Amino acid sequence: MAAARPLPVTSGLAGALQARAPARPEETAVFDTIIDPTIGPAAVSNQDQPTLAPRPASLSGLRLGLLANTKRNAEQFLDQVGRVLGERYGMTTVLAAKKPNIVDTAPEATLEQLRVSCDVVVTGVGDCGSCSASAVADGLVLERSGVPAVVICSDAFTVSADAMADLRGAPGYRYVTTPHPVASLTPDGVSERARLAVPGIVALLTEPAR
């Protein structure tokens, strides 16, 4: 996994925040969530250490679920992952879902569909701070309900992904990284990146949970 590195501070944004009129509390909460998606209720950080779902002995014949966010190329990336997993490991993509936004975890109805229909899930692509953090949150929600899940994030946002894992009581949670950016890739570039991500996905789906 790529080493985490600090995100750059945008001086223009900081200046704009200082200059603007005082915001109402509800506005501040929404803004803070967008800038730092790891913000959440204090109770979340007090959750018990999660037990990851047991890993299958083989991927052959398993039902695969794909959970994409709204970032450009996310659906195409996951579609290619599903295709390669089908060709190489005999998996079948039975559900390809898409989250309505990048900040929040997937709606409960979508998560329930994945739980009921799929043996394993791949989710992403975290290609910004907010979507990386929320992708990790999605993965942990599925793991806690007994569904092995692999999260894909671009390597520029491991800080956000790791912070969300810590907040959710899962320090050291492992995920797959792909070089940043993903949104600007051509179709051929998406296919190549997806192909390169598959070995890491397979490893996280089959290695003993910890």
Q: Which residues contact 209 (CB under 8 A, 6 or more apart)?
A: 51, 52, 53, 54, 55, 148
CA distances from 78 to 152, 186, 195 (A): 9, 14, 10
Q: Which residues contact 123 (CB under 8 A, 6 or more apart)?
A: 66, 67, 68, 69, 78, 135, 138, 139, 142, 149, 150, 151, 152
Task: Give me the chain's average pLDDT, please.
Answer: 83
Q: Give the pLDDT band of residue 210 (cuts 50, 70, 90).
A: low
Q: Which residues contact 143 (CB under 8 A, 6 or more apart)?
A: 50, 51, 52, 53, 149
Topology of domain 63-206 in CATH is Rossmann fold (3.40.50)
Q: What percent of the chain has pLDDT over 70?
A: 75
Residue whose C-alpha is closest to residue 72's, from 116, 131, 22, 26: 131
Average pLDDT over residues 28-42: 42
Read off the pTM: 0.78
Q: How far apart are CA 66 and CA 16, in angstroms?
A: 38
The answer to whether residue 74 scores a pLDDT higher than 70 is yes
Locate the DSSP E strands across the chain.
63-68, 92-98, 120-126, 149-154, 176-178
The answer to whether residue 118 scores a pLDDT higher than 70 is yes
Q: Which amino acid is located at 15 in the chain?
A: G
- Torsion angles phi and psi, residue 76, rounded to 5: -65, -40
Q: Give the pLDDT band of residue 33 (cuts 50, 70, 90).
A: very low
pLDDT of 62: 98
pLDDT of 128: 95
Least-confidence region, from 4-8, 103-107, 187-191: 4-8
